[in-house]
Structure 1
Amino acid sequence: MTVEAFDSKKELLTAFKSSQFLIDEVVGGFHNLIAKHPNNEPIPFPRIVYQEIRNDDDDFADNKPHSANVSFQVSVYCDALTVSKQTPIAKEVDKVMKSIGYSRYDSQDLYEEDTDIHHKPMRYSKKVF
């Protein structure tokens, strides 16, 4: 696959959906950028929201890129009833991300007081050739 043909979002979603653990535990599903139900119905917790935060060309030769740097933030959202699932889900996300070549460079445990939501953002990057 060439750098130009690489679809990082598709690769990521396919990897998440290949994990039976994530399919079973993340009842709110996998969402790109925002978690919004098409009919404005509430989305259950836990849920995963991912977003591409970097995708730039690198390793130029003859004015053509021969690689790309790709980074994602993958966030696990839980409410008070599902927060006990946050760590096992985060561990599985980490396993899945590493299986497709990403390295984690940041991870935090956050509590959003205004919404009473537990949020664990994890950041990953890889170089694609």
Structure 2
Amino acid sequence: MSFDAKAELSAALVNDLSLKELVTGGFHNRLASDVNAFPRVVFTELKNADDSYADNQPGSSEVRFQISIFTDSNAVSKETKVAKEIDRLMKSIGYGRYDSQDLYEEADKVFHKALRYMKVFFEEEK
């Protein structure tokens, strides 16, 4: 049943004009191609697993993503606005936020805001 949630999320991110304007460093799956471009967003699929079995068939899938916002000292003022726009977008496509952490990558001198979201897809939605 595993749904290609990465394709859905990727399309939603790159097609959102408000986010595209704010996130000048681009949207990346797992790894950023330009680590010097800020702010940038990196999304990582944490879980995509079948669930709710009946008659040996899954009735749903649980999908979880971490969306990381990376900023440097020049772009950190945009972090909150980017986070709010991501939250708006994620909720519009059916995800709920279950965690948020403000981090600082000491080795790279980069601010990192990690947002975690979850969505349950039911068989008929796919």
TM-score (norm 2): 0.92
After superposition, the C-alpha distances for 1:19-73 in whole angstroms (9 at most, x for unaligned) are 1111111111110011125xxxx54111000000011111111111110000000
CA distance in 2, matches of 1:127, 1:19: 22
Q: Is residue 56–residue 69 contact of structure 1 (8 Å, CA) maintained in 2?
A: yes
1:18 offset after TM fit, Å? 2.5
Structure 2: how far apart are the matches of 1:123 and 1:106? 5
Whichever residue aligns with residue 15 of structure 2, its letter is S
2:27 counterpart letter in structure 1: F
12-21 or 116-125: bigger deviation: 12-21
* 1:10 counterpart residue number: 7
Q: What stretches of structure 1 of length at least 5 have no aligned partner?
A: none
Moved more, 28-37 or 98-107: 28-37
Q: How far 1:14 moved relative to its partner?
A: 1.2
Once residues 43 and 26 of structure 1 are traced to their aligned partners in structure 2, the CA distance between those partners, rounded to angstroms, is 13
**Matching residue within 32, 40, 43 for 1:50:** 43
Among candidates 83, 96, 113, match of residue 120 of structure 1: 113
Q: 2: CA distance between counterparts of 1:88 and 1:13? A: 19
What are the residue-to-residue correspondences of 1:84-123 with 2, within 5 Å? 84-123=77-116
> Following the alignment from structure 2 to structure 1, what is the Cα–Cα distance between the partners of residues 33 and 17?
23
Say how many residue pairs are matched. 122
Contact (CA 8 Å) 1:76, 1:90: kept in 2 or not? yes
* Identical counterparts, % of pairs: 51
Q: Indicate yes or no: 2:60 matched with 1:63.
A: no
Q: Is 1:35–1:43's contact at 8 Å kept on the other side of the alignment?
A: no
> Which residue of the partner structure matches residue 27 of structure 1?
24
Q: Secondary structure of the residue that 2:37 maps to in structure 1?
A: coil
What is the match of residue 83 of structure 1?
76
Q: Which moved more, 1:73-82 or 1:17-26?
A: 17-26
SS at match of 1:88: helix
Structure 2, unmatched stretches of 5+, are: none
